[in-house]
Amino acid sequence: MNGALASATAEERISWAVRRYPGAVVLSSSFGAQAAVMLSLATRVLPSIPVILVDTGYLFPETYRFADELTRRLKLNLKVYRPALSPAWLEARHGRLWESGVEGLKAYNLLAKVEPMQRALHDLGAKLWLAGLRRTQASTREDLAVARLQDGRLKLHPILEWTDRDVHRYLEAHGLPYHPLWDQGYVSIGDTHTSRPISAELTAEQTRFFGLKRECGLHEASADGASL
């Protein structure tokens, strides 16, 4: 499968997915810095594709407004999923887990991100999951394949080889915006409490999760069947 998709363009990869799994392809988006690229590519092939946003309740105000803007502009079929617990209830029951080191971050991500995403994939009957991961984004993504199995479901990364320049050219060519916080130095944008702007002291990877880890859990497979 990877051999067949290796020389294909991003659009061709998405078209292949839609043909192979009609009615069972979804796209996840954090509505982060460069999210407009995958949202545009996917909806140009399949305008009605379900777009999953996991709303932890801790996203930046700019992220919510960016999601609204792109939903209107691209006529997205947006599916918002939230944790079982509200932010206030989560903190009342577990405290500020993200302040408790790597194990606390893992526990928080499982409750606030992974569980809602797994629920979304199940509810929407997803057999193939499109994600906008790129190899240049982090060392944890350097060895990713275009297609992979994750917890029994096919995962496809259509823009895996794209560089920042490729992204910029696409956004410019299609008149699409970066996330509003991009101009303030945010290169990776998630929750308010674990996202920082890049600086002389911080690399791009260190701007998330206090530099303790890079992935939030959504894109990591686990032995027990949940994305951990």
3-class SS of residue 153: strand
Q: What percent of the chain has pLDDT over 70?
A: 92
Q: Label residues 81-109 b or e (16+ Cβ within 10 Å = b).
A: bebebeeeebeeeeeebbeeeeebbbebb
Fold assignment, 2-211:
Rossmann fold (3.40.50)
Backbone angles phi, psi at 107, to 5 degrees: -65, -45
- Between 201 and 192, the more confident residue is 192
Q: What percent of the chain has pLDDT over 90?
A: 75
pTM for the structure as a whole = 0.89
Cβ-based neighbours of 214, under 8 Å, separated by 6 or more: 138, 139, 140, 205, 208
Provide the sign of the torsion angle of the four alpha carbons 130, 153, 147, 137, taken in this order: positive
> If pLDDT is split at 50, 70 and 90, which confidence band does 214 have?
low
Q: Identify the pLDDT of residue 228.
A: 22
Q: How many residues does the chain have?
A: 228
What letter does residue 177 receive in the DSSP assignment? P
**Is-catalytic flag, 216?**
yes
What letter does residue 226 receive in the DSSP assignment? S
- Report yes or no: 113 and 219 within 8 Å, Cβ to Cβ: no
Residue 163 pLDDT exceeds 50: yes
- Between 113 and 152, the more confident residue is 113
Q: Identify the pLDDT of residue 210.
A: 73
Q: What are the distances in angstroms from CA 71 to CA 11, 29, 112, 124?
A: 20, 12, 23, 19
Q: Identify the pLDDT of residue 152.
A: 86
What letter does residue 225 receive in the DSSP assignment? S
Cα 108 to Cα 88: distance, rounded to the nearest angstrom: 13
- Which residue among the candidates 116, 216, 217, 218 is catalytic per the annotation? 216
- Report yes or no: 130 and 26 within 8 Å, Cβ to Cβ: yes
- Between 31 and 202, the more confident residue is 31
- Report yes or no: 54 and 113 within 8 Å, Cβ to Cβ: yes
Residue 219 pLDDT exceeds 90: no
Domain extent listing, the chain: 2-211
Residue 221 pLDDT exceeds 60: no
Nearest Cα neighbor of 116 from 155, 94, 85, 157 is 85
Mean pLDDT within 58-84:
98
